[in-house]
Amino acid sequence: MSPATYLCCMNGIIKREILRFLQQRTRLLSVLVRPLLWLVVFAAGFRSALGISIMEPYSTYITYQQYITPGLGGMIILFHCMQSSLSMVYDREMGSMKVLLMSPVPRSFLLFSKLVAGAILSTVQVIIFLFITRLVGVDIEFTGYLYAVPAIFLTAFFLSALGLMLANLITQLENFAGVMNFVIFPMFFLSSALYPLWKMQEANVVLFWICQYNPFTHCVELLRFALYGQMNELAFAVVFSSAVVTCVIALVTFRGRG
């Protein structure tokens, strides 16, 4: 098959995922409302928990908002990628996945195309969220958005690969939903999304090391540095290598399903 055939196939899968997402209008709203509530309510609670007087400069509140914004962007990616994986399990049970597999294009390329489609959708959602955060005082330079795009895409590709890898290994829709809860919440809370690692180290050394080895921590740090026009080499290396490993495993298990 020619490269044009592969390109046409990928284009079709990406369009399919985008149209499916646009048809679920409440899905975009829920994706954005969840992190925005965390950004406003959780930041206010954190401010209160520290005993900060309401008469103190508003900049103190903004500083913590700026800190958790990348983590909440990671939350959007994490939830969207896992929901996309859930839809893959649903497609497999309802039979639409079998129609897709009738294509002469190799199954590994079909999987890769779904990963790319999921990463594109996640990137768009996070960029929309970052622009909305400006309304609550999170000021990011325009160049920060440009640096953030590849970081968001790489993170989304990794998390999409992780979700699809799990989807390939789980056959029942009910089991997959339970596993997702077991994956999403530990990955998010045991990371630097809401608290700095040094703060976690002060609280509990064991939790600190768990957070340190949590790949989602490096996803958040990669995005956090990118938003300020900087490159975190360690975070990039961890996220990139994790994306490669999970993608390869997903490809192998996908092929193994016959």
Q: What per-residue confidence (pLDDT) applies to 41?
A: 74
Task: Write b or e for each residue in 98-125: b if 16 or more Cβ atoms lie within 10 A of its Cβ, otherwise e.
Answer: eebeeeebebebbbbbbbbbbbbbbbbb
Q: How many domains does the chain contain in total? A: 1
Domain assignment of residue 156, given as a range? 3-255
Q: What per-residue confidence (pLDDT) applies to 34?
A: 78
Give the residues of the chain that fall short of pLDDT 50: 48-62, 256-258
3-state class (DSSP) for residue 162: helix
